Amino acid sequence: MEEKPVDKELILKELANFQSQDCKYSEGRILGSMCTEAHPFAKEVFCKFLDSNLGDPGLFKGTKSIEDKVINSIGKMFSLDNAYGNIVTGGTEANIMAIRAARNHAKKYKNISNGEIILPRSAHFSFKKAADMLNLKIVEANLDDNFKIDVNSVEEKISDKTVAIVGIAGTTELGLIDPIDKLSDIALENNIYLHVDAAFGGFSIPFLKRLGYKFPDFDFSLPGVCSMTVDPHKMGLAPIPAGGIIFRKEEYLDVMAINSPYLTVKKQSTIVGTRLGASTAATYAIMKYFGKEGYTKIARNLMDNTIFFKEELKKLGYKLIVEPELNLVSFNHPDMDTKQLANELESRNWRVSTSSCPVAIRVVLMNHIKKEHLKELLKDLKEIY
């Protein structure tokens, strides 16, 4: 830190210089991010709540009421009338909370220690962090030929140490939805906690269903589902950081509660202590602003772009890894190594992401990727071919 105060203008100039080195969503060149530019209205609301601390909700009763309302509203999106949970920093924190709830619940009611969690190989790496922090062993379930969790493999891997099964509604690498209905049956039969990670798919699947897309049930309408992750900062267009964790029952929050003696509320279940009210207010505002109708339009537009892109890729001769279920297209050149293809695209100034299982180029058709950007990308892909 400098000894003497620095002039505001100088600080802003320096910061602008740093910021100019960042990629900009609006250029449409970021192909692999699951985040995007937040809606201006959500940003405006975010700035109004920068001082609200939901870690001490007795002091910020209004903002806490907003959180209760927004959790309720997200719960209803997922067929749950009385939802419990929090707006947190993102899918990672939401998944860690879910696994912590499952672990503590199994410890309390089944006396399981040194527990295990069953995950598909396609699960996001946040579960590795959760397992590491919570001292749990990961047991990986196989994927079937369509890269979805193999439910037989899940059944085989259940043991008397299993504290949770995880299914994904919108996988990070391929955007696929696991057969959550079957996982729900297995979880109920074996009395095991089931968590659904809909960090990516949560703000599109319910709206695509309204458009007639046929997806099997994936939410709290299935009695085995205990919790769900959903990220407003992905297709919800809320500013980062905004993740959501929704629990079916309050007891899942209770088993995580830690005494917080000096605060206005005597127990805290979240991982984070001091936490942003701004994310909650912005999420609430943007959900009201769009409503189901607005999000349905966004979901339709993203899928239109997805379908356009994957069809054009096929015409060029590129090979899709799977037919997309959500707004994510994964593909390879029939002969060229994925790394080489990624390098070719990077050299043409695209910000490329590759998946690991299987190795492929992965394009997430977020709001910032418009038709004109896709046309430019296809032009480059044609040249590279």
Ligand X SMILES: Cc1ncc(COP(=O)(O)O)c(C=O)c1O
Tokens 């070719």: give the residue. 344
> What spatial distance separates the first Cα and last Cα of the chain, rounded to whole Å?
52
The answer for 85, left when phi > 0, alpha when psi is -120 to 50, beta otherwise, is left
Helix axes 40-48, 278-316, angle to 10 degrees: 160
For residues 35 and 342, which CB has a smaller minimum distance to ligand X in the complex?
Answer: 35
Instruction: Report whether 253 contacts 105 (CB < 8 A).
Output: no
Could you identify the residue written with the tokens 């590795």? 128
174: helix, coil or strand? coil
CB of 172 to ligand X, least distance (A): 3
d(CA 71, CA 266): 21
Q: Residue 230: which residues within 8 A CB-CB, separation 6 or more?
A: 74, 77, 78, 94, 198, 199, 202, 203, 236, 243, 244, 246
Distance (Å, whole) CA 315 – CA 63: 51
Q: Which of 334, 363, 330, 261 has its CA nearest to residue 33?
A: 363
Output the smallest distance, CB 108 to ligand X, in A. 26
Provide the minimum distance between the beta carbon of 91 and ligand X in the complex, in angstroms, as a whole number.
3
Give the pairing of strands 137-141 and 116-120.
parallel
- For residue 352 the two structure tokens come to 């490329």
> Minimal distance in Å, beta carbon 92 to ligand X?
3
Minimum distance from CB of 99 to ligand X (Å)?
Answer: 12
- Select 126 or 355, whichever has its Cβ closest to ligand X: 126
Residue 94 or 256 having the CB closest to ligand X: 94
CB nearer to ligand X: give 115 or 236. Answer: 236
Smaller CB separation from ligand X, 28 or 201 = 201
Residue 197's DSSP bridge partners are 168, 229
User: How many residues can be counted in the chain?
Assistant: 385
Which CB, 117 or 381, lies closer to ligand X? 117
**Smallest distance from ligand X to CB 100, Å:** 15
| Strand ranges in the chain using DSSP code E only, listed in sequence order | 84-88, 116-120, 137-141, 162-168, 193-198, 225-230, 243-247, 258-259, 267-268, 319-320, 328-332, 353-356, 359-364
Q: Which is nearer to ligand X, 34 or 205 (by Cβ)?
A: 34
| CA distance linking residue 138 with residue 23, whole number of Å | 35
Between 95 and 305, CB nearer to ligand X = 95
Minimum CB–partner distance for residue 35 and ligand X (Å): 8
Give the residue with the Cβ less far from ligand X, 91 or 224. 91
Q: How far is the CB of 86 from ligand X (least distance, A)?
A: 14
What is the rounded CA–CA span in Å between residue 203 and residue 318?
29
Contact footprint for ligand X (CB under 6 A): 34, 90-92, 95, 124, 126, 168, 170, 172, 197, 199-200, 231, 243
Query: Contact, 103 vs 136, CB < 8 A?
Result: yes
In whole angstroms, the minimum distance from the beta carbon of 46 to ligand X comes to 16
